Amino acid sequence: MELLRFFTAGNVDDGKSTLIGRLLFDSNSISTDIIETLTRQSKAIGNDANIDLALLTDGLRAEREQGITIDVAYKYFTTEKRKFIIADTPGHSQYTRNMFTGASNTDLAIILVDARNGITDQTKRHSIISSILGIPHILVCINKMDLVNYDEKVYNQIQEDYLKFSKELHLKNISFIPTSALTGENVVTNSENLAWYKGASLFEFLEQVEIPHEEENQDSRFQVQYVIRPQTEDLHDYRGYAGSVLSGTFKKGQEVQIFPLESKTTISKIEKNGEEIIEASAGEPIIIHLEHDLDVSRGSTIVPLNQQIESEKNLEATICWMDNKPFQAGQKLILQQNSFRTKAIVKAIDSKIDIHNFSEIESNGTIHLNEFCKIQLKTAEKISFDSYKKNRKTGAFILINENTNNTVAAGIIN
């Protein structure tokens, strides 16, 4: 069964959590015991008449007290056609880093717009982040249509304004749906009040939207997570390299190159769940055996001999700063890309990105919480990578403070 990963984003009080709650409730994706718990919680906060569906995703007590989503809340549900993972991301601008994290590796962005307010700075912010991350599908959900009397003109104007603004962002696929999360109109079933809208409901859209299988069509990439050497009497010479196929496919007998060693060898055997297989595809956890005994370790990247991958110590990247403390020149960092880790420093800050209008601003040498910057990185060891646009699996990384072990930035390789 196919899996669709998507996230929701919007202004505070645009109805993101309520929309997800309504989607899960009306599609019968909530168990009876959870409904009973929600009923008790809703009464506890003074809502005796209806279940507060936002409580399904507002999992933190602080969020409930403030009425906003602070962290990224993940929900999972399944229909007859698909499996879904939802990331409900924060609406407030000070939590941009959380939104950036929740949006990574998703197939679809649902950007909520309050029909009364139209396109706002936060709408632009979330759209620009979606553009930076290369999200394949954008769905603009124009919510609270009940509060503008289901006026088609309001819907059309917001659609026109969004398309005009987003023209420079080069977003791949943009769709629009009018909804009322509070009343459930156009969430799972179409609404008579929105009869002028002839498209699919949100639920139908999620079941029908094309899921890009980029990993299967991309060049083949495998990164070693663990070197298995039991060294028992039965398995004295056993040496396997465990990990998941990041993209593409790998076959027994295939000639490959190991990076950063740039050594050539052949795949002698592939194992999965204790059995030998001939071929493995993107997402499959496997153990690869190589014909030659090479110095392969955690973080090494295996690539077919006829394919190219970059292997450099100097990188151009775009980062979102996630630490409460600002960046300090000369700060000692660790770059982590999947299971690969190496020491790194920021050589230069080329520019900052204004995430309200996508323009580049001259750098003053500082980076503060939630700011986006284009930077030059230098690593202690060569990192094997593709640009993020080419392969999201090998083109993304995080930066860790070497002294505190805190994650201070998330980034993509340009």
The region, left, alpha or beta by phi > 0 then psi within -120 to 50, assigned to residue 184 is left
Q: Which residues does residue 114 pair with via DSSP β-bridges, in sequence order?
A: 143
R_g of the chain, CA atoms, integer Å: 24
160: its two tokens: 């026109």
Peptide bond into 178 cis (omega under 30): no
- Cα separation, 245 vs 216, in Å, equals 10
17: its two tokens: 């959590």
pLDDT digits (tens, 9 = 90+) for 202-241: 999 999 999 877 666 689 999 999 999 876 666 667 889 9
Other beta carbons within 10 Å of 86: 27
Spatial contact of 37 and 30, defined as CB atoms under 8 Å apart = no
Q: What are phi and psi of 138, to 5 degrees?
A: -120, 125
Sequence-distant (6+) residues with CB within 8 A of 405 are none
pLDDT digits (tens, 9 = 90+) for 312-324: 999 999 998 888 8
Spatial contact of 186 and 178, defined as CB atoms under 8 Å apart = yes
Query: Whats the size of the chain, residue-wise?
Result: 414
Spatial contact of 361 and 353, defined as CB atoms under 8 Å apart = yes
Peptide bond into 260 cis (omega under 30): yes
Q: Which residues does residue 26 pair with via DSSP β-bridges, in sequence order?
A: none
Nearest to 132, CA basis, from 403, 396, 393: 396
Spatial contact of 9 and 98, defined as CB atoms under 8 Å apart = no
Nearest to 317, CA basis, from 218, 405, 219, 410: 410
Q: What is the pLDDT along the chain (414 residues), one digit of tens a residue?
A: 788 988 888 877 767 777 887 777 766 665 555 555 555 655 555 554 455 555 555 543 443 444 433 345 667 888 888 888 887 665 545 556 566 766 767 889 999 999 999 999 888 888 988 888 888 899 999 999 999 999 999 999 999 999 999 988 888 899 999 999 888 899 888 889 999 999 999 999 999 999 877 666 689 999 999 999 876 666 667 889 999 999 999 999 999 999 998 899 999 999 999 899 999 999 899 999 999 989 899 999 999 999 999 999 999 999 988 888 999 888 999 999 999 999 999 999 999 988 777 888 998 889 998 889 999 999 999 999 999 989 989 999 999 999 988 889 989 999
pTM: 0.80
Domains by residue range for the chain, with CATH? 2-212 (3.40.50.300), 216-304 (2.40.30.10), 310-413 (2.40.30.10)
